[in-house]
Structure 1
Amino acid sequence: MRRSIPIAAFAFLTVCGTALAQQVDVGVASTVVNRVQGSVGARALKTGDRIFQNENIETGADSRSQLLFRDETVLNVGPDSRVTLDRFVYDPARGGSGAAVSVGRGALRFISGNMPSQSYEIRTPAGSIGVRGTIVDIIVYENGEVVLQLIEGALTFVDLNGRTVSLGKPGQVYILLPGQEGTLGNTLRPKDRRRLAGLNTAITLDELFPRPPQLPRSPVTNRPQGGGTTTTTSSDPPTTFD
């Protein structure tokens, strides 16, 4: 019975390795902070891990990740988010490039890469986004509500009823629920700002490599003249001699 445990573990690792080997490699998790799961091989992603076509990427609370694709497209994925890498083909020599990403929930920033603009599609529960040299922030709430904020470039959104809206000015915001007509404006709501907070700030070394807890200072015991002891905590640097 005891011998079956390592055999089972070996079999599990073999299956996981085979699953990874059979997938289409589309890029890399260039940064991973805290808990980020990849569906291929049911693995916890680490910085530098490959990512694959048709893979689901999920971040936990207080977690985030940056995904870098072969054409230099970038996805910054915020906390408590789910993204599916539906399709990615980058073949500039043959002109057969294309990418599709689905946002199931959460917040992300999409930065388009080196493919032609018409090659990109971002899918949401309320419709799809086409981009033109674009940086766009996207929020998908649990009820399917979608919020778009254009940062740079231009985009076109086609909702589930075939209605089309274009955003061409940085700062424009479009909000809609599935099956309903959206509203175009220039201001995020407080809950939208909270959802995007921290998504696009620089990831610090302390987040990637948390500092170990500091040990308490060692007490220093002095023996004054006349007997008795006093205990103090030293905060001065050590004395050095040339």
Structure 2
Amino acid sequence: MNAPSLPASLSLPASLCILMLAASGARAQSLEPVGEALVVVNLVTAEYNRDTRSLQASDRVHQDETIEVGLDASSEIKLDDDTKLALGAGSRLTLDKFVYDPKKSNGSIVLDLMKGTFRFMTGVAAKPTYVIKTPAASITVRGTIFDVYVEDNGQSWLLLIEGAIQACNARGQCQTLDEPGKLIRITGDGDVGKPVKWASLQDKGDTPFDNAFPFVVKAPSIDPTPILTRDVIIGTYSDDKDKGDQDVEKPKGKRDTAKPPKKKREQSTQKKTKKKRTAKNTDDDSNIVSGMDIVIGIGGGIGRGRGHKHDGGGMGNYGGRSMKGR
């Protein structure tokens, strides 16, 4: 590409600026476009090989570009396979690789999340196509919506909203997360934790939930009506269910020990015919009825808890349960 001719009246610094802008634009045109910016709030830049440009809504983004969001900014991007990304303040990612054939719905899509907060929504490409990299692990997805928080020290937090993901480190240690509302934490050394709820997560330090997962607090335009809310994820709603699951055998034990042996029941029945035992038997009958009432109440609760735990699909854990009274 020939450099544009410059008016003789322009000063040398002005001429250099124009030449640099022209070269940057030409380089951006030579890169492979892979998507576009849907939303840009305040300063968001795209950088490649030390050349930086400011993004505006509807601008194309390219393979190998690094997208960086200002500390008071945010952005949303849609890739050409309809994958959608939301980037929070201070975030940075690189569009490592984008090979997609819409006729075959396959290819290779690799994103490198270097720091900050993100929401990821898969597009129409085959699910094994996606690889999301964090500083210490890689994430593969299956029909998924999930949030990622990458700290400056390389520690990452994954929050599943819908679908399923698997996180693996370089040593081959993997964890599958298929319960919406739970998290996996990956240390800077690559240790992949087990799925847990936010309330049960140990060593959160001074990390506020709202800072780590801002798209749960305020939904991005790419996902305006999320299934899970902040209250469901961090509240006691799910914790109560888990406690019920853990104690599920205890009521059975109490109920079994409360049952009198068959012979004793027969003797008790016979004693009811004696007038002298009438008052005492009335109390015994009342206690038995009361005891049955407790057992039935607990058993009913267990049945409901189990039913929802094994409903089909990951989202059955939340969708079928009423939030009233909690």
* TM, length-normalised to structure 1: 0.78
Residue of structure 1 in register with 2:196 after alignment: 185
Change (3 A) 1:46 1:186: same
* Per-residue deviation, 1:79: 0.6
CA contact (8 A) 2:33 2:62 kept: yes
Decide which of 130, 146, 156 is 1:120's aligned counterpart: 130
Residue of structure 2 in register with 1:9 after alignment: 17
Instruction: Report matched runs for 1:163-242 at 5 Å.
Output: 163-177=173-187, 178-187=189-198, 189=204, 191-199=207-215, 201-202=218-219
Instruction: Report matched runs for 1:1-242 at 5 Å.
Output: 3-40=11-48, 41-94=51-104, 96-177=106-187, 178-187=189-198, 189=204, 191-199=207-215, 201-202=218-219
Structure whose residues are more often helix by fraction: 2
CA contact (8 A) 2:117 2:213 kept: no
Secondary structure in 1 matching 2:195:
strand
| CA deviation string 1:199-231 (max 9, x = no partner) | 352569xxxxxxxxxxxxxxxxxxxxxxxxxxx
What is the number of residues matched between the two proteins?
204
| CA deviation string 1:99-134 (max 9, x = no partner) | 000111111000000000100000011210000000
Residue 29 of structure 1 aligns with an amino acid whose one-letter code is: A
CA contact (8 A) 1:139 1:192 kept: no
Change (3 A) 1:181 1:50: closer
Higher relative contact order (CA 8 A, sep 6+): 1
* TM, length-normalised to structure 2: 0.59
Secondary structure in 2 matching 1:136:
strand
Matches of 2:213 and 2:87, distance apart in 1: 12
Secondary structure in 1 matching 2:15:
helix
CA contact (8 A) 2:155 2:185 kept: yes
Structure whose residues are more often strand by fraction: 1
* Per-residue deviation, 1:4: 2.2
Unaligned stretches of 5+ residues in structure 2 = 1-8, 222-326
Unaligned stretches of 5+ residues in structure 1 = 205-242
